[in-house]
Structure 1
Amino acid sequence: MQELFARSEQTLERARRVVQDSGVISCWAAVGARVELVGSMRTGLMLHHLDIDMHVYTSDCSIAESFGAMASLAGDSRIQRVEYVNLLEAEDHCLEWHAWYKDTQGAIWQLDMIHMSETSPFAGYFERVADAVRNALTPETRRAILEIRHAFRDDAEVKGIQVYQAVLRDGIRGPGEFQRWQDEHAVQGIIDWMP
Structure 2
Amino acid sequence: MYVSVSQKNYLNVLSYNTEILYLCRFIHPQMQNYELLALQNQQRAHEVIKRLDLLTFWENHGCRANVIGSLAMKLLVKHLDIDIHVYSSGITEESSFAIIADLAKNQHIKEIRCINGLHTDEHCIAWHAIYEDAKGDKWQLDMIHIESGTQYDGFFELMAQRINARLTEKQRQTILRLKFETPDDEEIHGVEYYQAVIEDGVATLDELRNWVATHRTTGGIYWMPD
Q: Look up the SS of the partner of 1:180 in the other structure.
A: helix
Structure 1 unpaired stretches of 5+: none
Match 2:167 to one of 118, 137, 141: 137
Shift in CA distance, 62/96, structure 1 to aligned 2, threshold 3 Å: same
Shift of 1:38: 0.9
Q: Look up the SS of the partner of 1:169 in the other structure.
A: helix
| Correspondence 1:39 to 2:69 | yes
Matches within 5 A, 1:3-18: 3-18=33-48
Q: Which residue of 2 aligns with 1:120?
A: 150
Q: What is the rounded CA distance, in whole Å, between the counterparts of 2:168 and 2:178 in structure 1? A: 15
Give the alignment's TM-score, normalised by structure 1.
0.95
| Correspondence 1:151 to 2:181 | yes
Q: Look up the SS of the partner of 1:123 in the other structure.
A: coil
RMSD: 1.4
Q: Number of matched residues?
A: 195
Q: Which residue of 1 aligns with 2:14?
A: none
Q: Which residue of 2 aligns with 1:59?
A: 89
Query: Structure 1 residues 15-24 or 148-157, which shifts more?
Result: 148-157
Shift of 1:105: 1.5
Matches within 5 A, 1:77-92: 77-92=107-122
Q: Look up the SS of the partner of 2:110 in the other structure.
A: strand
| Correspondence 1:21 to 2:51 | yes
- Between structure 1 and structure 2, the one with the greater Rg is 2
Shift in CA distance, 80/137, structure 1 to aligned 2, threshold 3 Å: same
The percentage of counterpart residues that share the same residue type is 36
Q: Which residue of 1 aligns with 2:17?
A: none
Q: Which residue of 2 aligns with 1:172?
A: 202
Give the alignment's TM-score, normalised by structure 2.
0.82
Q: Look up the SS of the partner of 2:85 in the other structure.
A: strand
Structure 2 unpaired stretches of 5+: 1-30
